């Protein structure tokens, strides 16, 4: 029983350190990691797993190993931002795969993609006719960027020389009956205005599921008792 307690403590401690190291590495998605970032992540996972599974490896050794990996990754990321040649060594370059409706076969082989895989990636971008494509670029993180020819682009206000009103952005100021005072402060409300708002709506807050406000202080309220109308039939 004591051994299980030790293992549980090691799991919690190592996971906490691993989470801190991962957060320190920066706000990036898994698909955006460089090869070095990926290697650090795999190594950190291996070190953490070994520290949990092998009783001969102390908790302190595992924690030190994870911290050193985190420091190494952060240092190399800083260097890659400061020195462009390091950045180019650690990152793949964007690769043109389609130009003016034609597949660049040599580049396709360079990134180890088949024509079928390329066509599948194009379909994910809602391109079913390759002749509509002016440029398709495989980005360093592995995603495909597609630019359609001008005649196949959707109409926009700028292309039609039409002036449109700015977008209306709604910000949640009440969530599940709780007034978001920090959000209201960031929107320019004074402390007195927030207190007045709480006093004015305090009795009705429990009936509000979500309330959204635009920059003109117009509210859109979603009540707790909102129900499906049945218009959409499955």
Distance CA 6, CA 52 (A): 10
What does CATH list as the number for 171-223? 3.30.240.20
**pTM higher than the cut 0.75:** no
- Do 171-223 and 95-152 fall under one CATH topology? yes
Q: Which residue has the tokens 């595992």?
A: 62
List Cβ neighbours of 65 (8 Å cut-off, separation of 6 or more): 47, 51
Query: Considering the domain 95-152 in this protein, what is its CATH number?
Result: 3.30.240.20
Domain boundaries, the chain: 2-89, 95-152, 171-223
pLDDT in tens, 1-35: 566 777 787 888 888 887 877 777 665 555 556 67
CA–CA separation, 213 and 29 (whole Å): 30
For the stretch 95-135, pLDDT in tens is 999 999 999 999 999 889 899 999 999 999 999 999 999 99
**Structure letter (DSSP) for residue 92:** P
Q: What is the mean pLDDT of the chain?
A: 81
CB 51 within 8 A of CB 12: no
E strands, the chain, are 95-99, 102-103, 133-138, 144-148, 171-175, 178-179, 208-213, 219-223
Q: Which of 26, 16, 17 is nearest to 67 (CA)?
A: 17
Band (205; pLDDT cuts 50, 70, 90): confident
């Amino acid at each position: 029983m004591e051994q299980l307690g030790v293992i549980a403590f090691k799991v919690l401690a190592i996971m906490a350190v691993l989470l801190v190291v991962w957060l320190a590495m920066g706000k990036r998605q898994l698909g955006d990691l460089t090869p070095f970032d990926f290697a650090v992540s795999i190594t950190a996972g291996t070190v953490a797993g070994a520290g949990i599974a092998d009783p001969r490896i102390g908790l302190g050794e595992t924690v030190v190993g994870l911290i050193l990996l985190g420091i190494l990754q952060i240092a190399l990321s800083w260097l890659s931002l400061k020195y462009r040649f390091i950045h180019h060594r650690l990152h793949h370059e964007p690769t043109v795969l389609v130009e003016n409706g034609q597949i660049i076969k040599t580049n396709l082989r360079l990134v180890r993609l088949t024509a079928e895989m390329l066509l599948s990636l194009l379909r994910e971008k809602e391109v079913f006719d390759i002749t509509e494509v002016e440029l398709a670029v495989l980005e360093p993180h592995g995603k495909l960027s597609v630019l359609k020819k001008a005649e196949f682009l959707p109409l926009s206000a700028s292309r039609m020389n039409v002036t449109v009103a700015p977008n209306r952005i709604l910000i949640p100021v009440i969530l599940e009956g709780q007034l978001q005072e920090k959000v209201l402060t960031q929107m320019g409300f004074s402390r007195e205005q927030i207190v007045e708002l709480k006093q004015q709506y305090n009795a009705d807050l429990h009936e509000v599921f979500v309330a959204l406000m635009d920059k003109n202080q117009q509210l859109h309220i979603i009540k707790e008792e909102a129900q499906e109308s049945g218009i959409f039939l499955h």
